[in-house]
Structure 1
Amino acid sequence: MESIRALVVDDHAPFRQGLRALLDTVPDIEVVDEAATGEQALALAPAAQPDVVLLDLAMPGMGGIATTERLVASMPHVRVLILSMADDDDSVFAAMRAGARGYVLKGARKAELVRAVRAVAAGEAIFGAALAVRLVGYFNGLDRRQDAFPELSDRERQILGLVGQHLTNPQIAERLGLSPKTVRNHVSSIFTKLQVADRAQAIIRAREAGM
């Protein structure tokens, strides 16, 4: 059986080293390279040809969400497994929308982590038990939320959801890996399409729609 080729991406060197040491004890998983940033991961991936990219969300420069989107777009066969300290709904759902196939919290036991790597490498999607409960609720209401504003694009709907959580444009830009100018343009487009004058009115519309 061929080994699962893994690329570890995290800006904290001690965490990368510890994760590599852990995975090196697993016979069917081979860590082929490490990266400290999303930009470095994108540069290394074509040569490393990983099956699974173990990726942190919060990194300087290009964040984990933007890195996931670009990895999935450029190398569709690569499976992204998020390893993060963040367990909030926004982070989990943003990772899913970006194309991640799994989400495991840092500090997970070795058995859980190894099982997750093997699962995503096999084409499965895997999330912790607590996260799975949230996903069920999310998908139960997904159709209603998507039908609420058919005039909005997927990205505009995503940004409207973050506006509804009172995130500023710079915070949204950092979360989604976009430039502040791009976010401003999207927000202006949302206001125009929803025929609202400001963020407060947009938030009211979003909450009335169940977002």
Structure 2
Amino acid sequence: MQSKKIIVLEDDTAFRKLITSEINKVEAFECIGTFSKIQELMQAVPDLFPDLFWLDISLPDGLSINSIPQLKEMFPNALCLICSMHDDDDKVFTALKSGADGYLLKNSSFEVMMTSINELFQGGSPMSPFIARKVINHMKTENRHDPLKEQLTKREYEILANLAQGFQYKEVAHQLSVSLETIKKHVQNIYKKLHVQNRTEAIIKFHKK
């Protein structure tokens, strides 16, 4: 049986070597290329014809999840497995919506990682337990009727939810990777839409939803 061809995109040199070594230990797998930057991968990939992309998220030249749609377009049958230390909602759901077929955290054992690759090739969608719980909770939340979600944009709702948890503007700006001024503008829009005068009134409305 022909080995499944795997490409590894990972900028941590030590981890890249380790995961490549683990992949090549499996008789059914073959690592046909390793890259530390997205641009290097995109330049080389047309000649490689992989069965699976092993993708870290944060690379020196950007986020790999932004390239998943292009990779899927080039190789419709290829699978994309995220292996990252990022476990925040934004990265997780962006990755899955972009077409990732599985999502592992880097604290997973090598045994779990290799088993997950097998699961992918057998039609599964492996996820670390913490990520799977996030997805389930997200689906539960999506199914609940929340009038605030109809009044606010997704970003405004996200900001208000963070404020309701006690985070300050600066902390929310850092979490969402936007400027403090952007947060303040969103907050003013939230006040107008909810017909409130201040943060306390907005949070009260959030908790009453």
Gaps of 5+ in 2: 163-170
Q: For the structure 1 residues 33 and 151, does the alpha-carbon distance in structure 2 shift closer, same or farther, using more than 3 Å as the test?
A: farther
What aligned pairs does 1:1-211 form with structure 2 within 5 A after superposition? 1-144=1-144, 149=149, 157=154, 159-160=155-156, 163-164=159-160, 165=162, 167-168=172-173, 172=177, 207=206
Partners of 2:55 and 2:32 lie apart in 1 by 14
Deviations 1:80-101 (A, max 9, x none): 1111112333332222122111
8 Å CA contact 2:56–2:83 kept in 1: the answer is yes
**Worse overlay, 143-152 or 38-47:** 143-152
3-state SS of paired residue (1:141): helix
Deviations 1:25-78 (A, max 9, x none): 100011010111122222222221111111111212221321224323443322
Partners of 1:88 and 1:170 lie apart in 2 by 9
Q: For the structure 1 residues 54 and 142, does the alpha-carbon distance in structure 2 shift closer, same or farther, using more than 3 Å as the test?
A: same
Partners of 1:63 and 1:56 lie apart in 2 by 8
Q: For the structure 1 residues 150 and 56, does the alpha-carbon distance in structure 2 shift closer, same or farther, using more than 3 Å as the test?
A: same
Partners of 1:18 and 1:101 lie apart in 2 by 22
RMSD between aligned alpha carbons?
A: 3.7
Displacement of 1:8 in angstroms is 0.2
Structure ID, larger Rg: 2
3-state SS of paired residue (1:24): helix
8 Å CA contact 1:148–1:209 kept in 2: the answer is no
The normalised TM-score by structure 2 is 0.71
Q: For the structure 1 residues 78 and 150, does the alpha-carbon distance in structure 2 shift closer, same or farther, using more than 3 Å as the test?
A: farther
3-state SS of paired residue (1:72): helix
Partners of 1:135 and 1:145 lie apart in 2 by 18
Deviations 1:180-203 (A, max 9, x none): 9xxx8xx98xx59x9589xx7xx8
Q: For the structure 1 residues 150 and 171, does the alpha-carbon distance in structure 2 shift closer, same or farther, using more than 3 Å as the test?
A: closer
**Worse overlay, 162-171 or 45-54:** 162-171
Partners of 1:209 and 1:44 lie apart in 2 by 53
Q: For the structure 1 residues 13 and 101, does the alpha-carbon distance in structure 2 shift closer, same or farther, using more than 3 Å as the test?
A: same
The normalised TM-score by structure 1 is 0.70
Task: Work out the number of aligned pairs and report it.
Answer: 192
Q: Percent identity?
A: 21
3-state SS of paired residue (1:7): strand
8 Å CA contact 1:53–1:80 kept in 2: the answer is yes
Partners of 1:161 and 1:60 lie apart in 2 by 30
Q: For the structure 1 residues 47 and 170, does the alpha-carbon distance in structure 2 shift closer, same or farther, using more than 3 Å as the test?
A: farther
Which residue is equivalent to 2:167? none
Q: For the structure 1 residues 171 and 90, does the alpha-carbon distance in structure 2 shift closer, same or farther, using more than 3 Å as the test?
A: closer
Displacement of 1:116 in angstroms is 1.0
